[in-house]
Amino acid sequence: MPNTVSINGTTIITNGKSVRVAGGRIIVDGQDITPDVPNIVVSVQGDIETVTTEHGDVVVEGSVGKIESKNGNIQCRDVQGDVTSKNGNISCGTIHGDATTKNGNIR
């Protein structure tokens, strides 16, 4: 089933399984969809396996395998694995793995 991935209002429909934000670039299953704006918000409508960011907030409206963010808040529903944020809050439904943050709150 296709997912909807929105980055700062730019939306693509994909059967993607992976979203990665690194080095200032946003990659969905190997496709670079980086917008020309400094603040990044990754929003996924549907189920996805992984979301990884260096900078930017993450919102997943569906199930996710795991989420990692170095600098950004994480909001999601069910997580099958771990949720990790170095600098940001974590607010998720059921987390089947571990939830860790160095500078933030876990709810």
Convert the pLDDT of each residue in 58-105 to its tens digit: 999 999 999 999 989 999 999 999 999 999 999 999 999 999 999 999
Distance in angstroms (rounded) separating the CA atoms of residues 54 and 67: 11
CB 63 within 8 A of CB 46: no
Among 6, 91, 89, 79, which residue's Cα sits nearest to residue 47?
Answer: 79
* pLDDT for the residue 65: 95
Q: What is the model's pTM?
A: 0.72
- Taken as a whole, the chain contains a residue count of 107
